[in-house]
Structure 1
Amino acid sequence: MRLHHSSTLTVEYFLKYAQLVMKSRKLSVEETQQFMEDFFFKGDPLVYGESTRRQFLQAMAELQKY
């Protein structure tokens, strides 16, 4: 999937992405968040901007509720 730096990714996008990672790799929410920090964000939490970062953190908070 190609990402453009100018668009903000949504909470829904991150929820679906994280759920896919969790199922395919059999990870916990915490492990999934770390994986996404390393792989998706390439170790730079603001690589896609502050708004996308906020959406990601909100999605991770939502996953904690399950």
Structure 2
Amino acid sequence: MIVNHASTLSVEYFIQYLELVMKSRQIPLKEAEQYMSEQFFKGNPQLYGESTASHFKEAINRTEMKS
């Protein structure tokens, strides 16, 4: 997936991405969060900026509340 470094990724984007990772890999949210932290953010939560990192955390919180 190509990500434009100039734009902020939305909470909804990350919710969909987390759900896709969980379904495709058949893993729980915590493992999906770890996977995305390592693969998507390359171990650097600020890689795409502070707003995007904040939206990722919010998506995790909202996904937890759905479960």
TM-score range, shorter chain: over 0.9
**Identity among equivalent pairs (%):** 47
Aligned length: 66
After superposition, the C-alpha distances for 1:20-54 in whole angstroms (9 at most, x for unaligned) are 00000011010010000000000011000000000
In structure 2, C-alpha distance between the alignment counterparts of 1:20 and 1:51, rounded to whole Å: 22
Secondary structure at the counterpart of residue 45 of structure 2: coil
Structure 2 unpaired stretches of 5+: none
In structure 2, C-alpha distance between the alignment counterparts of 1:35 and 1:43, rounded to whole Å: 10
Partner in structure 2 of residue 30 of structure 1: 30
Q: CA RMSD in A?
A: 0.6
For 1:21, give the aligned amino acid. V
TM-score, L = length of structure 1: 0.96
Counterpart mapping for 1:1-66 below 5 A: 1-65=1-65, 66=67
Secondary structure at the counterpart of residue 48 of structure 1: coil
For 1:24, give the aligned amino acid. S
TM-score, L = length of structure 2: 0.95
Query: Which runs of 4 or more aligned residues in structure 1 lie more than 2 Å from their structure 2 counterparts after TM superposition?
Result: none
Distance apart, 1:2 and its partner CA: 1.3
